[in-house]
Structure 1
C-alpha cells in the first residue's frame, strides 16, 4: 500500500480537507437525524461504516488488481450504508469516492469510475424514492422535476470535482518534474564547476612548471656558476649574479600572476573600469610593453553589467595580457571595451609575431577564454597569423539580462 500523497499543492490539500469535511458532515447529520427527527436508522452500524470508509482513505493501493478491489470495497460499503443502514446524505459519500479515485486513478479509468459513481447515486436515489426513506419527502407530482434537478446538480458537482482534481494533480506533477529538473541542473552545475576548477588548476600548474620552474632552474644554475667563478673571475661572477637577480624578479612576477588568477574576486571592490586600468598598468610595469586603452564608456555602464560578466571580461583581458607577455614579442597592445545599447565588445590586439591558429594552442589559454565566453552565450573570435600579431574579440549580447 502507498501512503496518501503529500499534498504540497494548495489545491490538492484543499480537496483532501474537503473529503474529511464531507465525511464529518455525514456523521453529524446522521446523529441529528436519529436523535431529533426520529427517523429509524442504525446509528451504530452507520457510524462504524463511516469510520471504515474514512480509514480507507488513509492509504491507496499501487497494483492494478488491488486498486480494483479497493474501488469495489468502496462501492459495496456505500451501498451497504445506503440500503441497509438508511444513512442520510449518502450522496456526499459518492462525492468523496470520486475525489479519492480521481487522485488514485488516471485517464479513462478515472472517468469510468466517475460515471459508475454517478449511476450508482441515481440507483440509490431511486431505491430511496421507492421506499419513501429520503431525508426530504418529494411530492409524487414533482418527482420528474426533482430527478432532472438532482441529476443536473449532481452531474455538475462531480464533473467540477474531477476537473479540479485533475488540475491539482497536473500542477503537482509539474512541480515534481520541475524539482527533478532543478536537481539535475544543480548536479550538472556542480560537475561543471568541478571540471572548471580542475582545468584551472591544471592550467596554473602548467604555468608554474613552464615559467616559474624555468626561471628558478636558471636562477639556481646562475648562482652555482657565480660561486665557482667568484674567486677566479669576479667580473663574470658579478654578471651571473645580475642575471640571477633578473631571473628572480621574473619568477616573482610569475608568482604574482598565478596568485591573481586564483583570486575568486579579482575586482576586489573596485569599479570595472578601475580594475581593467590597474591590470593594464601592472602589465606595462612588469613587461615594458606599451599599452593603449579605450574603455571610457565603461564608467556609465558599470552598474548595469553583472558581477559575473565583469569577472569574465576581467579574466579574458588578464589571460590575453599574460599570453602577450609570454609568447608574442610585441611592443604595443591596444585594448578596447565598448558598450553599445545592450551589447559589450572587448578587443585585445598586439603587434607581435602571431601564431598559427590551426596548431595546438592549448598553452595559450584560448580554450579557457572560449569556455568563459560560452558560459554566458557570448562569442569569441581570434584573428592571427605568423608575423601579423594577434587580435582577440569577445562579444556579449543583452548584457543587462545577466
Structure 2
C-alpha cells in the first residue's frame, strides 16, 4: 500500500480505475435506458406501487457520478480520514440503492467497486470488514426488492423467485471473494516487486562499495609492495654510496668496494621491481626459498652495517606462498628500519615454523623509538596489514635508547 493518498497520477493499478469507470458507466447507462417515466408510472400505478426512482433519475445518476469521483482520491493514512471516506461511499451506495429499489434492474457493480477501493485504502482486516458489509448491503437490497415483487407474482412462481434470489446471493458472494482475492494478489505481487527492486538497488550499492574497497585494498597492496621491495634495497644502496663518497679521497680502494656493493644493490633493486610487477600482474615468478631470501637480507645487513646478526631459522613445514611472502616482507621492513635508524650493534632474528604455528622475532639493541609517535608510519602500518592478512598478531616493543623488538605469532592450522 502506498504511503500517500492514491490519485490518478500515482494509482498503482490504473486498469482497476478504468474498470471502476466501466462498471459505473454500465450502471448509469442502465438507469438512463429505463422505459419512459409515464409508461413506468402507469405500470406502477396499475400495480399499486409508486415508482419512487422514476421521479429522481438524474439525482440517482448524480450520486453515481459523485461515487465515481471519490475514487480519484483514496487516502491511505489517518484512521478517521479513511473511515470517513469509506462511510461516504457507503452512504452514496445506500442512497442509490434506495432510489433504484423498485426499479426493474439491479446494479451490484458499485459494491464491487467499494471492495476494490477498500483493498487500496486499508489493511487485511479492514478489507474483510468492508467486503462483509458490501455483502450484507447487497443481501438487504436484494431481499427488499424480491419482497416487493413477491406479492405481485403467482404463488407457484414464488418458489422459482426464491431460488433465483438464493442463486444471486451465492453468485454475488463468490464475486466479492474473487474480487478481494484478486486485488490482494495484485497488491502482494506489487509489494514483492517493490522489495525486489529495493534489494536490487541495495545489491548495486553494495557492489559499488565492494569495488571501492577492493580498489583501496589494491592500492594499499601496491604501496606495500613498492615500499617493502624498493625501500630496503634503495636504503642499503644509499648507505653504500654515502660511504663511497666519504672515502673517495682517503681510501679509494674501500670506496671502490662500496661502489661495487652499491652496483650490486642497484641490481637487487631492479630485480625487486621486476618481481613486484610480476606479483601485481598475478604472475608467479621463480622465487627462492624463504630461508634463502632471509639469508640474502642478512648479507645485505652485514654489508651495510658490519653487523653479524644472531640467526635461528627452523622452518619445519612448508609454508603457503602468501605466508612466506608476508614473512619475508616483514623481516625486510624490520631490517630496513635497523639499517636506516637504529644504529644498532647487535641484531637477533628467529623464525620458528612448526605444527604449533609460526613465531617470528626480530630484535636489535639500537636507539629505539617512541611507538606512540611513530604508530602511523607507513612501514609499521604495512607490517600490521601484512600480519593481519595472514591471520597473525604483530607486537612492536620499543623505547628510546632500548632498541626495538618485533614479534609475530600466527596460530597453527
Q: For 1:123-138, list aligned pairs within 5 A.
A: 123-132=140-149
2:284 is aligned, of 273, 280, 299, to: 280
Q: Match of 1:323, SS?
A: helix
The answer to whether 1:64 aligns with 2:64 is no
Structure 2 equivalent of residue 233 of structure 1: 251
Q: Which stretch of the first structure deviates more once superposed, 28-37 or 247-256? A: 28-37
Shift of 1:198: 3.6
Q: Quick one: distance in 1 between partners of 2:35 and 2:321?
A: 87
Gaps of 5+ in 2: 41-53, 151-156, 294-318, 333-350, 362-381, 392-406
Q: For 1:273-312, list aligned pairs within 5 A.
A: 279-283=283-287
How many residues are paired up?
Answer: 306
Q: Is the 8 A contact 1:42 1:85 kept in 2?
A: no
1:178 is aligned, of 188, 191, 196, to: 196
Q: Quick one: distance in 2 between partners of 1:99 and 1:364?
A: 61
Structure 2 equivalent of residue 53 of structure 1: 67
Q: Is the 8 A contact 1:41 1:85 kept in 2?
A: no
Cα RMSD (Å) of the superposition? 4.4
The answer to whether 1:118 aligns with 2:135 is yes
Shift of 1:152: 0.7
2:238 is aligned, of 213, 220, 245, to: 220
Q: Quick one: distance in 2 between partners of 1:215 and 1:38?
A: 114
Structure 2 equivalent of residue 105 of structure 1: 122
Q: Quick one: distance in 2 between partners of 1:94 and 1:19?
A: 11
Structure 2 equivalent of residue 143 of structure 1: 161
Q: Deviations over 1:232-277 (max 9, x none)?
A: 4344333323322333333344445555666xxx47xxxxxxxxxx
Q: Is the 8 A contact 2:118 2:130 kept in 1?
A: yes
The answer to whether 1:164 aligns with 2:182 is yes
Structure 2 equivalent of residue 78 of structure 1: 93
Q: Quick one: distance in 1 between partners of 2:18 and 2:262?
A: 83
TM-score by length of 2: 0.59
Structure of higher CA gyration radius? 2
Q: Is the 8 A contact 2:20 2:113 kept in 1?
A: yes
Q: Quick one: distance in 2 between partners of 1:72 and 1:185?
A: 44
Q: For 1:2-401, list aligned pairs within 5 A.
A: 2-4=5-7, 15-33=16-34, 40=54, 42-61=56-75, 62-84=77-99, 89-132=106-149, 140-256=158-274, 258-259=276-277, 266=281, 279-283=283-287, 319=322, 322-323=325-326, 326=329, 354=353, 356-357=357-358, 363=384, 365=386, 367-368=388-389
Q: Which stretch of the first structure deviates more once superposed, 20-29 or 118-127? A: 20-29
Q: Quick one: distance in 1 between partners of 2:322 and 2:22?
A: 68
Shift of 1:69: 0.6
Q: Is the 8 A contact 2:241 2:259 kept in 1?
A: yes
Q: Quick one: distance in 1 between partners of 2:121 and 2:235?
A: 74
TM-score by length of 1: 0.61
CA spacing shift, 1:217–1:192, aligned 2, 3 Å: same
Q: Match of 1:280, SS?
A: coil
CA spacing shift, 1:326–1:52, aligned 2, 3 Å: same
